[in-house]
Amino acid sequence: MSIQKCEPVSSLTPWFRQGGQGAVLALLLLVACVIFLAALSVGGMRGGVYGVWDLLTGQGDGLLGRVIVELRLPRALGSMGVGGLLALSGVLMQVLLRNPLADPYVLGLSGGAAFGAILALMAGGSGLWVDGGAWLGAMVTMVMVFWLAGGPGGWERGSRLLLTGVVVASGWGAGVSFLLYWMPDERLRGALFWIMGDLARGGDPWPSLVVLCVVLACVWPFSRALNLLVTGPARAASLGVAVTPVRLALYLLSSLAAASAVATAGSIGFVGLVIPHLLRLVGCVNHRVLLPASALLGGALLTLADLLARTVIAPQQMPVGILTALLGAPVFLWLLHRSLR
Amino acid sequence: MTALLALRGVDLGVGERRFCRQLDWTIQPKERWAVLGPNGAGKSTLLRALAGLHPVNGGEIWLEGSPLGRLSRRAVARRVGILFQEQEYPFPATVLECVLAGRTPHVAFWAPDTAEDHQWAWDALRETGLEALAHRQVDTLSGGERRRMEAATLLVQSPRLMLLDEPTNHLDLGHRIGLLRLLVRKTEEQDGAMILVLHDINLASRFCDHFLFLFGSGESLLGEQEQMLQPALLSRLYRHPMRAVRDGERLYWIPT
């Protein structure tokens, strides 16, 4: 398989060159704000728009106000953070592997995190132990995939890496099934969360938001180096990029981003793949814009997906990971099909 | 006068294969070297080693009097530019964006592209005749156009030492001469030097005054044009009989 190409929509491209890039960021920021407010307003209790307005003008109390502040706000913040992290780690992995199909879910990181978390649950751990297990699982997977798919020219061979990732992911899947089979019934529900990817756990949204800001602040100044790295380590080095330290940093930061996202919300698929691809399709290829734009759009779209997941079959709620995987799988197949042509 | 580049006792190889042993080689400003040799003799690897992109197995390389291995990537990139034999562009980018990348070693790593950077890029595009293609996607270019774009990137980088790995690949005959003339003029303006890997002896003899032969066995030979371009030597190099044909002042080399 050759490395996947994505052609920008040509009519938009010249507009980007003429200073449209700032406008794109402003537009995405606006979209993110609208979706964020919608996520606060919509839910089982009606009249949310007024509730949000009341809160903003400082007179929000009563039940609706508490529902918004204590339930919807942390969830919306969490989905913004997790979506941003997934999209950002997708971009970084794609740079690192020079392959637009790289994504934490496809490479098996989410599977590793789920295995680690469920193993910690089985061992009777809770809270930090489980998060730590997810973290460790993601990190181990990252090392494994990169090491197995490495070797001379290995990282640049898209097929080898994807195959390794897919096989590692299915290995983790089998491990998870094994654990679930032996798991006592009363713990099964908590374990399912890690497989499906759900924002309903109501965890603290701040760690993911903080990690998102830290990772973005660390990589954004290196946009120029990232633009060069996608054309190959040799060319980047010949133009003065210190390739080895930059790649090591990218590797650590993309793992950090993916692992924090998974530890907060379980394995949510394909966000890291679809978001950067969408942006590149409209001509947003410079990492100076692509990095912040991916974080914004990833957060916005995951929040929207979560909003849909908890409203379409209300009063039932669906884990958001099911929705993104349902939408992401066909998109991924379409991209793969295009790259094989 | 400090040599632009100096190799002292350099051993180079990959795996079991040896490309050169104990190579002593000095490249002075204004010199133009051609590296000739059969396929797989290590010409491209040698160029990469000269740019600090491939480790040597022994010996030392000095760039303008400093050991190459001690210089930062950035410091090397300001002095040495390399045109790779093949270059892939897996992600979309326009010609202008690719050419602008040549400014990287000269600006702060976090700095956005300035008007001055664009001036450099447009000058290079004009000189390589690519102005009209500036906003085209790289993967829509023909092989020759892409080669000229890579040369334009090199002009923007403006190194003193240019390492060109088969620079005339994909180029039509007119552009071959035009592009090499342009690169020669640019290195002369900088008091620089160039090293070309070529398979076309006649093109090499037209543009280069010095030759390095890599025989593929670890043996290497270097010297000025008159002593290097000998029928017996070239026949041994390519393992095929070669002879010279005279046309007025010039000698042309053909395989018999």
Superfamily of domain B5-255: P-loop containing nucleotide triphosphate hydrolases (3.40.50.300)
Both structure tokens of A248: 């090591």
Both structure tokens of A208: 């993911």
Confirm or reject contact between A297 and chain B (CB < 8 A): no
Both structure tokens of B53: 């992109």
Residues 6 or more apart in contact with residue B114 via CB below 8 angstroms: B107
Lowest mean pLDDT, pick from A43-47, B29-33, B93-97: A43-47
Q: How far is A188 from chain B (nearest CA, A)?
A: 43
Omega before B112 within 30 of 0, i.e. cis? no
How far apart are alpha carbons B115 and B135 in whole angstroms?
A: 17
- Mean predicted lDDT score pLDDT of chain B: 93
Out of B51, B97, B110, closest to residue A238 by CB: B51
Out of B73, B84, B91, closest to residue A242 by CB: B73
Inter-chain residue contact B92 with A232, CB threshold 8 Å: no
Q: Which CA distances in Å does B124 have to A60, A144, A233, A239, B120? A: 62, 44, 24, 16, 6
Cβ atoms within 10 Å, residue B71: 17
Inter-chain residue contact B87 with A235, CB threshold 8 Å: yes
Confirm or reject contact between B76 and chain A (CB < 8 A): yes
Q: What does the pLDDT read at residue A19?
A: 56
Q: What does the pLDDT read at residue A232?
A: 86
Phi and psi angles of residue A146, each rounded to the nearest 5 degrees, phi first: -70, -35
For the domain spanning A24-340, the CATH number is 1.10.3470.10
The pLDDT tens digits for B172-227 are 999 999 999 999 999 999 999 999 999 999 999 999 999 999 999 999 999 999 99
User: What percent of chain B clears pLDDT 90, i.e. is strictly above it?
Assistant: 87
B56 DSSP 8-state letter: -
pLDDT band at A16, cuts 50/70/90? low
The pLDDT tens digits for B149-174 are 999 999 999 999 999 999 998 999 99
Query: For residue B105, which residues of chain A lie inside 8 Å, CB to CB?
Result: 239-240
The residue with greater pLDDT, A199 or B100, is B100
A121 pLDDT more than 80:
yes
Total beta-carbon pairs less than 8 A apart between chain A and chain B: 97
Rg of chain B (C-alpha set): 18
How far apart are alpha carbons B117 and B156 in whole angstroms?
A: 9
Three-class secondary structure of residue A241 per DSSP: coil
Q: What does the pLDDT read at residue A151?
A: 57
| Parallel/antiparallel/unpaired status of strands B210-214 and B58-63 | unpaired
Q: What does the pLDDT read at residue B245?
A: 93
Confirm or reject contact between B134 and chain A (CB < 8 A): no
Q: How far is A269 from chain B (nearest CA, A)?
A: 22
pLDDT band at A5, cuts 50/70/90? very low
Q: How far is A235 from chain B (nearest CA, A)?
A: 8
Nearest Cα residue in chain A from B150: A235
The pLDDT tens digits for A156-177 are 555 677 788 889 989 999 999 8
B15 pLDDT more than 60:
yes
Lowest mean pLDDT, pick from A142-151, A322-331, B10-19, B57-66: A142-151
Q: How far is B77 from chain A (nearest CA, A)?
A: 5
Q: What does the pLDDT read at residue A146?
A: 76
Residues 17 to 36 of A: which have CB under 8 A from any B CB? 17
Check if the beta carbon of residue A279 is closer than 8 Å to that of residue A88. Answer: no
Nearest Cα residue in chain B from A244: B73
- In chain B, DSSP assigns E strands to 5-14, 17-27, 32-36, 58-63, 66-67, 80-83, 161-165, 193-197, 210-214, 220-224, 242-247, 250-255
pLDDT band at B139, cuts 50/70/90? confident
Q: What does the pLDDT read at residue B48?
A: 95
The pLDDT tens digits for B58-97 are 999 999 999 999 999 999 999 999 999 988 888 888 899 9
What mean pLDDT is predicted for residues A265-284? 84
Q: Which CA distances in Å does A228 have to A110, A180, A286, A306, B231? A: 28, 44, 10, 35, 44
Residues 241 to 270 of A: which have CB under 8 A from any B CB? 241-243
Both structure tokens of B67: 């050991």
Confirm or reject contact between B91 and chain A (CB < 8 A): yes
Residues 6 or more apart in contact with residue A226 via CB below 8 angstroms: A95, A219, A250, A287, A291
Out of B77, B111, B135, closest to residue A239 by CB: B77
pLDDT band at A2, cuts 50/70/90? very low
- Mean predicted lDDT score pLDDT of chain A: 82
Out of A99, A239, A286, closest to residue B105 by CB: A239
Per the listing, tokens 């640019």 go with B186
- For Cα atoms A310, A312, A318, give the angle at the middle one, nearest 5 degrees: 45
Query: For residue B157, which residues of chain A lie inside 8 Å, CB to CB?
Result: 239
Check if the beta carbon of residue A164 is closer than 8 Å to that of residue A145. Answer: yes
A10 pLDDT more than 50:
no
The domain segmentation of chain A, as residue ranges, is 24-340
pLDDT band at A129, cuts 50/70/90? confident
| ipTM, two decimals | 0.91
Nearest Cα residue in chain A from B45: A234
Q: What does the pLDDT read at residue A289?
A: 92
Would you put residue A283 in left (φ > 0), alpha (ψ -120 to 50) or beta?
left
- Can you state the angle between helices A185-196 and A320-340, rounded to 10 degrees? 40
Confirm or reject contact between B14 and chain A (CB < 8 A): no
Rg of chain A (C-alpha set): 20
Inter-chain residue contact B101 with A239, CB threshold 8 Å: yes
